[in-house]
Amino acid sequence: MKLWKGRFSKELDETANAFNSSIAFDSRMYREDIEGSCAHAAMLGSCGIISKEDAESIIAGLGGILDDIESGKLAIDMTAEDIHTFVEGELTNRLGDTGKRLHTARSRNDQVALDIRLNLIKASASLVEKLENLISVICEKAEQYSSAVMPGYTHLQRAQPITFGHHLLAYAQMFLRDIGRLEDAKRRMQINPLGCCALAGTTYPTDRMQTTLNLGMYEFTRNSLDGVSDRDFCIELASALSLVMVHLSRFSEEIILWCSWEFKFVELSDAFSTGSSIMPQKKNPDIAELTRGKSGRVFGDLMTLLTVMKGLPLAYNKDMQEDKEAIFDAVDTVSMCLDTFTPMIETMTALTDNMRHAAAAGFINATDCADYLTKKGLPFRDAYKATGELVAKCIELGQTLESLPLEEYKNICEDFDEGVYEAIDLDRCVAERKSAGGPAPENTLQEIKRIRTMLTSE
């Protein structure tokens, strides 16, 4: 049954009805729709816009509908126009005329704007929790591998020694920023559009602060046109979620590389790997690959939202119904990725011997060798040049800086002595990188502590 049928003499065409209906994707907001309606009814009652008795019956009736949906007694009618229509229709079936009073001083335009906000506030909180979970798993791993030396890369070329723990903690920083962005987006979701009505407010003496506080929000929207036509909060969330996916995707990419025979830095648990139907030797990092791939969906959702909104005149336009599939898909995709990615990291083991082996082979202690000369008083540029010559010598002789005899060192620069071997020892190179934010194991352990305190104090 259509809410707006008074003006119309013909039933809506079946195809047009299916095209117009949003119930398939907005039924997931049934809780928020009922919550918002209860707050609205309570306000109507206390402002004397409807009687107190009617308000109470409406609130009780909505409670009954909620219980019946949750218990499975009441199935949501998938031919309804949307969730708002369904709930109001069901209320009227149950309460008769009293049910029909609920929509006084309200429109589906402010109703839907509220419902999405309430839904996304919860979704954001749940995603923050999942990110916190991932960060604590990363911290555990980083602690375990705080002194596991590996090569750090630039241009995917071995560059300088770091530890696996330090590398992992880089991702913890990204996910911490993601939490910050989600919290920030959430703050702007907590502004209540209910009471804007269709677009121009109402002549009834409503109390918008009452519904605002009742719904646990802290402020109401200050312009009725903006209140019903603003979907910035969806775009902000999709943008924050796109960055989450960028981070998950980069992490995935590294895991995929590390799982290759070329690197063999990590081993994923069999429970988070898959095989090939033809090649019996294969163990594939499908979870990481799918996570990397799904980033595209979330970026697509963000583009959908931006494009839907960019040319809309004020205030509500039906185009805006397209917001929900996009933002819900982004929320569901990120949620699913985090649910799978986190235990994959938790059960991943580092092959620390292979990491060390790789670290020993790429002259990644060359900077330390130059620094050694610099600390003896040589200007850095001269030290850099001498070390470059040493590396060339090593390559010519098939040696490493560690195995090159002191004689060869001295041939290139008189200032070298026995001490150089200690200075280029990989463990020492890492341990001495104590500059703030650097990879020294003691820094890593301290940073883990700091992150853990931040997580528990939230």
List interacting residues with ligand ARG (CB under 6 A): 22, 26, 82, 108-109, 112, 316, 318, 320-321
Between the alpha carbon of residue 361 and those of residues 161, 395, 399, 434, 441, the distances in Å are 11, 11, 9, 23, 21
CB of 321 to ligand ARG, least distance (A): 4
Smallest separation (angstroms) from ligand ARG to the CB of 316: 6
Minimum CB distance to ligand ARG smaller for 4 or for 380 = 4
Burial of 53 (0-12, 13-18, 19+ CB in 10 A): exposed
Which residue lies nearer to ligand ARG by CB, 148 or 315? 315
Q: Which is nearer to ligand ARG, 22 or 98 (CB)?
A: 22
Q: How far is CA 190 from each of CA 55, 183, 314, rounded to the nearest angstrom?
A: 25, 11, 22
d(CA 345, CA 368) in angstroms, rounded, equals: 32
Tokens of 201: 């407010």
Q: Give 237 or 359: the residue with its C-beta nearer to ligand ARG.
A: 237
| Closer of 168 and 326 to ligand ARG (Cβ) | 326
Write down the least CB distance from residue 228 to ligand ARG, Å: 9
Closer by beta carbon to ligand ARG, 54 or else 82: 82
Cβ of residue 19: shortest distance to ligand ARG, in angstroms? 12
Least distance between ligand ARG and beta carbon 200 (Å) = 13
Catalytic member of 155, 277, 435, 457: 155
Smallest separation, CB 26 to ligand ARG (Å): 6
CB of 3 to ligand ARG, least distance (A): 9
8 A C-beta contact, residue 333 and residue 248: no
Task: Tell me how far apart the terminal alpha carbons of the chain are, to the nearest angstrom.
Answer: 47
Cα angle for residues 418, 420, 421 (degrees, 5° grid) = 80
Question: Does the annotation count 276 as an active-site position?
Answer: yes
Residue 57 falls in the annotated catalytic set: no
| Cβ neighbours around 87 below 10 Å, total | 27
**CB nearer to ligand ARG: pick between 220 and 316:** 316
| Residue 196 region by backbone torsions, left for phi larger than 0, else alpha for psi between -120 and 50, else beta | alpha
Q: Give the residue numbers annotated as catalytic, written as ranges.
A: 155, 276
